[in-house]
Amino acid sequence: MMLLVGHGSFLLELIQFNDYNTRIQFDKKYVNRHRRICGTDPITHEGQKEEIPMQPYHFSNPNPMDAFSFTLPTEIVYGPGVLARLPEEMKRIGCTRPVIITDEGIVRAGIADRVRKLVEAAGYECIVYSGVEPNPKDANCEECACQARAFGVDSLIAVGGGSPIDCAKAVGVLLAHGADRIKPYEGKTAATKPQLPLIAIPTTSGTGSELTFSSVITDTENHYKMTVKSPFTAAKLALCDPELTVSVPPMVTASTGVDALTHAIEGYTANCGEPIADAFALYSIELIYHNLETAVKDGTDLPARSAMLMGSMLGGMSFSHSDVASVHCVAESLGGLYDLPHGMCNAIFLPYVMEYNMDYCVEKYARVAQAMGFFFTDAREGAQIAVSAVKELCRAVGLPDFRSLNVKTEDFDTIAEMSAKNISTESNPRPMTKEDYLEVLRMAYEA
Ligand SMILES: NC(=O)c1ccc[n+]([C@@H]2O[C@H](COP(=O)([O-])OP(=O)(O)OC[C@H]3O[C@@H](n4cnc5c(N)ncnc54)[C@H](O)[C@@H]3O)[C@@H](O)[C@H]2O)c1
Ligand SMILES: [Fe+2]
pLDDT tens, position by position, 332-359: 999 989 999 999 999 999 999 999 999 9
Q: 43 and 91: one domain?
A: no
Q: What is the pLDDT of residue 188?
A: 87
Q: 214 and 261: one domain?
A: no
Q: 392 and 431: one domain?
A: yes
Q: 240 and 126: one domain?
A: yes
The answer to whether position 65 is within a domain reads: no
pLDDT at 21 over 50: no
How confident is residue 22, by pLDDT bands cut at 50, 70 and 90? very low
- Ligand 1 centre from 125 Cα, in Å? 26
Q: 278 and 323: one domain?
A: yes
430-436's contacts with Cβ under 8 Å and 24+ in sequence apart are 430/326, 430/356, 430/357, 430/359, 430/360, 432/326, 432/329, 436/356
Q: 421 and 276: one domain?
A: yes
CA 254/CA 395 separation, integer angstroms: 10
The answer to whether position 70 is within a domain reads: no
Q: What is the pLDDT of residues 92-133, one digit of tens each?
A: 999 999 999 999 999 999 999 999 999 999 999 999 999 999
Q: 45 and 142: one domain?
A: no
Domain CATH for 286: 1.20.1090.10
Pocket test for ligand 1, best of 129, 165, 204 (most atoms within 8 A of CB): 204
In 3D, which of 146, 30, 71, 12 has the Cα closest to residue 389? 30
CA 168/CA 75 separation, integer angstroms: 17
* Nearest residue (CA) to ligand 1, atom 19: 161
Q: What is the pLDDT of residue 47?
A: 46
CA 254/CA 276 separation, integer angstroms: 27
Domain end among 218, 245, 272: 245
Indicate which ligand has the atom closest to the C-alpha of 316. 1
The answer to whether position 288 is within a domain reads: yes
Q: 40 and 111: one domain?
A: no
Q: 225 and 298: one domain?
A: no
Q: What is the pLDDT of residue 54?
A: 56
Q: What is the pLDDT of residues 192-225, one digit of tens each?
A: 999 999 999 999 999 999 999 999 999 999 888 8
pLDDT at 233 over 80: yes
What pTM, to 2 d.p., does this model score? 0.90
- Ligand 1 centre from 287 Cα, in Å? 20
- 3-class SS at 160? strand
Indicate which ligand has the atom closest to the C-alpha of 110. 1
Domain CATH for 197: 3.40.50.1970
How confident is residue 23, by pLDDT bands cut at 50, 70 and 90? very low
Q: What is the pLDDT of residue 104?
A: 98
Pocket test for ligand 1, best of 201, 207, 259, 266 (most atoms within 8 A of CB): 207
The answer to whether position 224 is within a domain reads: yes
Using alpha carbons only, what angle is made at residue 336 by residues 335 and 338, rounded to the nearest 5 degrees? 65
pLDDT at 316 over 90: yes
The answer to whether position 395 is within a domain reads: yes
Ligand 1 atom nearest residue 335's Cα: 43
Q: 35 and 138: one domain?
A: no
The answer to whether position 64 is within a domain reads: no
With a Cβ cut-off of 6 Å, ligand 1 is lined by 103, 105-106, 109, 134-136, 160-163, 166, 203-204, 206-209, 212, 214-216, 225, 244-245, 247-248, 252, 256, 259, 342-343
Q: What is the pLDDT of residue 59?
A: 76
Q: What is the pLDDT of residue 55?
A: 61
The answer to whether position 59 is within a domain reads: no
How confident is residue 61, by pLDDT bands cut at 50, 70 and 90? low
CA 417/CA 435 separation, integer angstroms: 9
Domain end among 192, 222, 245: 245
The answer to whether position 58 is within a domain reads: no
Domain count, the chain: 3
Asked which of 22-26, 62-66, 302-306 is least confident by mean pLDDT, the reply is: 22-26
Q: 413 and 378: one domain?
A: yes
Q: What is the pLDDT of residue 43?
A: 56
* Nearest residue (CA) to ligand 1, atom 2: 209
Q: 105 and 131: one domain?
A: yes
Q: What is the pLDDT of residue 67?
A: 83
Domain end among 188, 218, 245: 245
How confident is residue 25, by pLDDT bands cut at 50, 70 and 90? low
Average predicted confidence (pLDDT) for the chain: 90
Pocket test for ligand 1, best of 209, 214, 422 (most atoms within 8 A of CB): 209
Q: What is the pLDDT of residue 128?
A: 98
Q: What is the pLDDT of residue 26?
A: 58
Domain that holds residue 47: 2-53
CA 130/CA 237 separation, integer angstroms: 21
Indicate which ligand has the atom closest to the C-alpha of 224. 1
pLDDT at 380 over 50: yes
Q: What is the pLDDT of residues 172-182, one digit of tens each?
A: 999 999 999 99
* Nearest residue (CA) to ligand 1, atom 12: 162
pLDDT at 52 over 70: no
* Nearest residue (CA) to ligand 1, atom 6: 207
21: number of Cβ within 10 Å: 8
